A and B are shown apart, each in its own frame.
Chain A
Amino acid sequence: MLDPIIELQDLTKKYDQFIAVNRLSLSIQKGEVFGLLGPNGAGKSTTILMMLGLSEPTSGSVRVCGINSTREPILVKQKVGYLPDDVGFYEDLTGYENLIYTAELNRLSKEEAIRRAKELLARVGLSDAADKKAGAYSRGMRQRLGLADVLIKQPEVIILDEPTLGIDPAGVKELLQLIQRLSRDEGITVLLSSHHLHQVQQICDRVGIFVQGRLLAVGDVSALSRQLFAEDLFILEVGVKQLSPDLIEQLMQIDDVTSVKQNNELLFISCSRDLTGEIAETIVRSGARLTYLNQKQYGLDEIYHRYFERGEVK
């Protein structure tokens, strides 16, 4: 745990007056799968560009594999594979030719390039489509070819920007499993950015939540949500007719219910464990009519909102 492969210190990027990344400090260990979570425009891509030396930080420093990315981008790019979001390929070349081209730009010998391209195409499941023009590839295929493209230089770190964007659920699952296998089998460090918590939490060892250029929290997913939602892990949305004020009182009496909010005929009940049964029973016994009951799941949205609330309280 003492071997950070990506180290960001007080990294800041300003565009005129707009602060895209604000004093970001983060270190990622070797072999880790790290998820950078945040809404669009949070500064995820900007951070990634700075790691690759494609964009210059206003202040602060980036070290990847012990190399300063701003000073020595070429050395960093030899060791880091980067898959941009919505990756593009040369459309009149085949998938195979695209890979060979990337291999040659990485100074691989012809034989090595051919061998690795074939092996990787098989690995990402594109052997059949290898001789098809890349222009005819579907979005999911492009993303898988992108993964092969990143791996052809045998990187120590791969950085994936929104790898799951625009792919169907089956494709997402497949891609994520592929990424996980890579990290496990070859010890490659993976940094991926996304705005889908539930997709990323399946494979990430740790995630960082990144909103408006600031890193709000870092940790593994379960610890993060336990820490965030310690008091009200569950929210029930209940539709009730003929509601009496007593009922709200009664609901508040139930153990582990932390708050009840009313909005016309809708009640929002937060509780620290699953109390759906008890709450339904209470409502029915009070003589009110239960019309609808829904247990809400926490998405990334709620996490952001939660953090915003806290941020403003501070």
Chain B
Amino acid sequence: MKAKLISPFWVMVRKEMADHMRSWRYNLMLLLIGLTCLGSLYTAMMSIREAVPKDQTLNAFLFLKLFTVSDGTLPPFITFIGFLGPLLGISLGFDAVNSERNKGTLSRVMAQPIHRDFLIGAKFVGALILISMMFLSLGFLVMGLGLLAIGIPPSAEEFLRMLLFLLLSIIYVGFWLSLAILFSIKFRQSATSALSSLSIWLFFSVFFTMLIQLIANATAPVNATNPNDILQHQQFIQVIMSLSPSQLFSEATTTLLTPTVRSLGPLTLEQVYGAIPSPLPLGQSMLLIWPQVTGMIAATLVCFGISYAYFMRQEIRSR
């Protein structure tokens, strides 16, 4: 008898998921991402012929190219995920708490015998499960269609790399989700919280690179004769670049899906000298992007932690 009862937390998660699945918002996002994913798959298949290297040494990772190559008409799959993922996260989270507050349901739910953190926990977990379902199914759809189209099955390593790529995308969208939930707790109006999250997204995806350019130009060493100066400058630029979650995401996914990427920082001629131009094994690629992955997870946890602390201390008043 006892075993049949679900914990209230999972009741709430289930309700969150049902709400999202019935909402226009989620279905529109699903349609949008689904269409762009099919579009980029189509262009990738059109241009994959040119991407096949002439020498036979490097074509081991042909399957991964489905996600990364493009003939220029449409961006590849990873660019789309990097661009639309935040939008998905924001759209699922921006009115998580304030809409409940404005509709007067928050105080009613809080009067039930549940812990207060169940509410934001359920909001986060419910949306994250949906995002995972969406990404995994889209990812497998692309793989399946790619398999049918090019007729080469992926190797185990390619498959693992793709799974890790999908996992990274989920973490990345999770970051934007938790940011949006934070704003939904902070701001009473859902329009305010939506616009705040969108402005942060725009800032990082459009203005941040411009800003970096400015800083790079301003701080560039005057007489570029000392290689150490140039190296230092380059490293400094990389540090500020990595403040942007979209930068972290694109570095990490590029490395994962393009095994030939050997380093994310500058390499000196001495370091390159004698290296065999072969793809990195998965373990080495993972080591390379470990800081990026940690950074993304940490950013997500920080946002969630702030929302948690903020929500626990907030007074629940009716409307």
- A residues with CB within 8 A of B: 45, 49, 52, 54-55, 74-75, 77-78, 80-92, 101-102, 104-107, 109-110, 146, 149, 153, 161
Contacts and interface: CB of A to CB of B under 8 A. Distances in A.
Contacts of B115: 74
A87 B11 contact: no
A189 B15 CA distance: 32
B162 to A, nearest CB: 36
6 contacts: A52-B111, A84-B107, A84-B111, A85-B318, A104-B11, A109-B4
Given A102-B112, A107-B5, 20 more contacts: A45-B318, A54-B107, A74-B113, A80-B111, A84-B111, A86-B318, A87-B104, A87-B108, A88-B104, A88-B108, A89-B108, A90-B19, A90-B103, A90-B105, A104-B11, A105-B112, A106-B8, A107-B8, A109-B5, A161-B318
B109 interface: yes
Contacts of A110: 4
B25 interface: no
Nearest to B7: A107
A78 B15 CA distance: 21
B270 interface: no
B156 interface: no
Contact of A101 (B11, B103, B316, B318): B11
Contacts of A84: 104, 107-108, 111, 318
Given A49-B315, A49-B317, A105 B103 contact: no
Given A86-B104, A87-B108, A101-B11, A106 B113 contact: yes
Contacts of A89: 103, 105, 108
A294 to B, nearest CB: 38
Contact of B113 (A55, A78, A85, A146): A78
Contact of A88 (B5, B103, B114, B315): B103
Contacts of A104: 6, 8, 11
Interface string B1-29: 10011101001100100010010000000
A55 B315 contact: yes
B114 to A, nearest CB: 6
B104 A105 contact: no
Contacts of B111: 52, 54, 77, 80-82, 84
Contact of A105 (B12, B107, B317): B12
A77 B11 contact: no
A67 B5 CA distance: 26
Contacts of A52: 111
B318 A105 contact: no
A292 B280 CA distance: 101
A153 B109 CA distance: 13
Interface in B101-128: 103-105, 107-115
A88 B22 CA distance: 20
A49 B110 CA distance: 11
Contacts of B114: 74, 77, 105
A90 B109 CA distance: 11
A49 B316 contact: yes
Of B12, B22, B111, chain A has the most CB atoms within 10 Å of the CB of B111
A90 B4 CA distance: 25
Contacts of B109: 105
A55 B313 CA distance: 9
A75 B316 CA distance: 18
Contact of B103 (A80, A85, A91, A146): A91
Of B6, B22, B112, B113, chain A has the most CB atoms within 10 Å of the CB of B112
A45 B315 CA distance: 12
